[in-house]
């Protein structure tokens, strides 16, 4: 789970292209995790817990409408109906996220790894000025239409991740500094 979050936050769109099986029509890793979580979860129990936090009626209307559209459009347009149902499929991550957030082990892992993930993402974001060189040197993945997608050099989430980094490191408790004290002294801060 943490590796998927790291991949999406750091690499963004190219990471979405990693599929099982990797060639031809494959299921993206994120959607594969979504399917696994939804199939192994007690959905009524999760929805009851969600219902204690948020009003579920708008979500239920959305999911029923989207499923109906997917079925009706699937008959006429086939695979492309799934592409057009992206927002509905991605809204199911709310259920998966709520399921995983209810597991203390998942929350502990995320707490432990979120700082380093944000740090790597911010460092990667600083390479933005070399985007053209990164794209030219990057290995590629086949996209859904078989177009070449460079793994490195796409900075779709960089601005957001740099803001995350700024806020994360500002609120970092003094007893758990991410930057070792020796480096902090080297920078002249102490």
Nearest-angstrom CA–CA distance, 177 and 89: 38
**Chain segment 37-90, per-residue pLDDT in tens:** 999 999 999 999 999 989 999 999 999 999 898 888 888 888 788 778 888 888
Structure token pair of residue 166:
């700024």
Per-residue pLDDT reduced to its tens digit, 151-190: 999 898 889 999 999 998 888 776 665 555 554 554 555 5
**Neighbouring C-beta atoms of residue 131, cutoff 10 Å:** 15
What are the tens digits of pLDDT across the range 7-45? Answer: 999 998 899 888 888 766 788 888 899 999 999 999 999
Asked if residue 184 is part of any domain, the answer here is: no
Report how far Cα 135 is from the mean position of its chain's Cα atoms: 22
pLDDT at 177: 58
Would the pLDDT of 101 be above 80? yes
Please tell me the predicted confidence (pLDDT) of residue 132: 94
Of 152, 10, 160, nearest to 2 by C-alpha is 10
pLDDT (mean) for 94-118: 89
If one counts every other C-beta atom within 10 angstroms of the C-beta of residue 154, the result is 18
Both tokens of residue 34?
């979504």
Query: Of residues 20 and 123, which shows the higher confidence score?
Result: 123
Q: What is the pLDDT of residue 125?
A: 93
Residue 185 domain-assigned (yes or no)? no
Task: At 39, list the tokens.
Answer: 């199939």
Q: How remote is the C-alpha of 59 from its chain's centroid?
A: 21
How many structural domains compose the chain?
Answer: 1
pLDDT of res. 146 = 78
DSSP 2-61: HHHHHHHHHH-HHHHT-EESSSSS-EEHHHHHHHHHHHHS-HHHHHHHHHTTS--HHHHH
Can you give the residue range of the structural domain that contains 125?
2-171
In a domain, 140, yes or no: yes
> What pLDDT score does 89 carry?
85
Tell me the torsion sign for CA atoms 28, 29, 30, 36: positive
The predicted pLDDT at position 181 comes to 53
């Amino acid at each position: 789970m943490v590796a998927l979050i790291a991949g999406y936050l750091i690499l963004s769109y190219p990471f979405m292209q990693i599929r099982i099986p990797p060639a031809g029509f494959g299921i993206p890793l994120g959607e594969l995790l979504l399917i696994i979580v939804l199939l192994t979860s007690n959905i009524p129990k999760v929805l009851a817990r969600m219902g204690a936090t948020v009003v579920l009626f708008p979500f239920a209307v959305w999911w029923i409408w989207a499923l109906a559209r997917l079925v009706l459009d699937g008959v006429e347009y086939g695979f492309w109906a799934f592409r057009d149902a992206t927002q509905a499929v991605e809204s199911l991550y709310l259920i998966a996220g709520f399921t995983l957030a209810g597991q203390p082990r998942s929350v502990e892992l995320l707490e432990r790894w979120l700082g380093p993930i944000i740090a790597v993402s911010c460092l990667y974001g600083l390479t933005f000025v070399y985007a053209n060189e990164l794209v030219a040197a990057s290995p590629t993945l086949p996209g859904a239409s078989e177009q070449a997608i460079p793994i490195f050099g796409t900075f779709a989430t960089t601005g957001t991740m740099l803001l995350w980094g700024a806020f994360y490191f500002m609120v970092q408790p003094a007893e758990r500094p991410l930057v070792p004290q020796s480096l902090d002294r080297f920078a002249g801060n102490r």
